[in-house]
Amino acid sequence: MLRRKMISAVAEIESGQLQPASLDLRLGPTAFRVRASFLPGKGRTVEDQLAALKSDEISLEGAGAVLERGCVYVVPLQESLNLTKSFTATANPKSSTGRLDIFTRLITDRSEVFDTVEPGYEGRLYAEVSPRSFSVRVREGVKLNQIRFRRLHSQQSARTDFAVDDKFLRERHQEMPLVDGELTLRNGLIVRIALSAETLAGPPGSPIGYRAQKHADVIDVDNIAGYEMGEFWEPLPARPDKRLILDPGEFYILASQEKLHIPPDLAAEMVPIDPTMGEFRVHYAGFFDPGFGFTQEGHPGSRAVLEVRSHEVPFILEDGQVIGRLVYEKMAEAPALLYGQSGTSNYQGQSLKLSKHFRM
């Protein structure tokens, strides 16, 4: 796609942007603070809307700028697309973006939905960025979200669901385990929450999760391992009843009971098990690259780390409760380089883990 100029950029695409199933997108030199989130709608461009809604223009060059918690910004990205009618795309926040609770969505011109690029799109890409728990310092070139592409043949043009079925997953699990325990399938692989120290197998007294502190300092997203965990997060001890009450509006980092493995020819995405099961969200950055959780022994080796927020009312989670499902999709072919085989993979082999910015 790069060679065919279907993807272009104001600065040359870096090798580190190329992930097994996606392309990292880079912030441009300017951010626009806006009064509210928006979609341009049919027939209108993002720039048209910015002209009416922007309240401040912020330079991200050099040392960058602080994006304040609770505010909404729109940032033109360095990458642009020139897709043919057979290509479409979907975007999602990067893992570290989700774990910092930076709400990030892709916007395109004339779009009526976020994070989706229509077939044949030609034009610029924009990121809506809204830090929810911490104010963050960003600069030109920072990568907060990623985009993945799907090529459709003529019979697929009207399809919206490309997930493989449960029969296929059951057969693959027999060839090489997808999870370390019992395989539970329901239109995808069922994922359960871990709220006991025994399940997470950590040292005595280890937390079963973390809750974001209020009124913490600014986080520079380029400062890797630069912050003490205790200055930003409250560790959550295991309770005898193996429960956790989610406070409305609070942000939590939790982990799955299951250890996972994503085969080389598949990718996966966390989706809600059922919106009617509770007003909480667990998957702000829920995309899993091919090779995630791989171990030389063939055993699934990485837990899913979950970014959790309850809405409206307190909500009780219990150890082993179903909180989501992994939906798998076939890759066009297995990538030459899997997740964990390059220096840009920070969460291979993870258990309960905060973003790469914190010393634990």
- What was the pLDDT predicted at 348? 76
- What was the pLDDT predicted at 57? 95
- What was the pLDDT predicted at 360? 75
Place of tokens 């395109």: 108
- What was the pLDDT predicted at 277? 56
- What was the pLDDT predicted at 298? 76
pTM: 0.92
- What was the pLDDT predicted at 55? 83
Query: Per-residue pLDDT for the chain (360 aa), expressed as one digit of tens each?
Result: 999 999 999 999 998 899 999 999 999 999 999 999 999 999 899 999 999 888 899 999 999 999 999 999 999 999 999 999 999 999 999 999 999 999 999 999 999 999 999 999 999 999 999 999 999 999 999 999 999 999 987 666 555 678 999 999 999 999 999 999 889 999 999 999 999 988 887 777 889 999 999 899 999 999 999 999 999 999 999 999 999 999 998 999 999 999 999 999 999 999 876 655 555 676 666 899 999 998 877 788 899 999 998 887 888 999 999 988 899 999 999 999 888 776 666 777 788 999 999 987
Q: How far, in whole angstroms, is CA 137 from its chain's centroid?
A: 19
- What was the pLDDT predicted at 311? 80
Of 159, 171, 167, nearest to 186 by C-alpha is 167
- What was the pLDDT predicted at 278? 56
Q: Residue 6 and residue 8: Cα distance in Å, rounded?
A: 7
- What was the pLDDT predicted at 165? 95
Q: Report, in this order, helix, strand and coil percent for the chain, each rounded to 5.
A: 10, 40, 50
- What was the pLDDT predicted at 188? 93
Tokens of 81: 């697309």
Residue 37 CB-density burial (10 A; 0-12 exposed, 13-18 middle, 19+ buried): middle
- What was the pLDDT predicted at 231? 97
- What was the pLDDT predicted at 319? 95
- Looking at 3.40.50.300, 2.70.40.10, 3.40.30.10, 3.30.1300.10, the CATH number of the domain 7-156 comes to 2.70.40.10
* Strand partners for 71: none
Q: Which residues in the chain are classed under CATH 2.70.40.10?
A: 7-156, 166-359
Per CATH, which fold does 166-359 belong to?
Deoxyuridine 5'-Triphosphate Nucleotidohydrolase; Chain A (2.70.40)
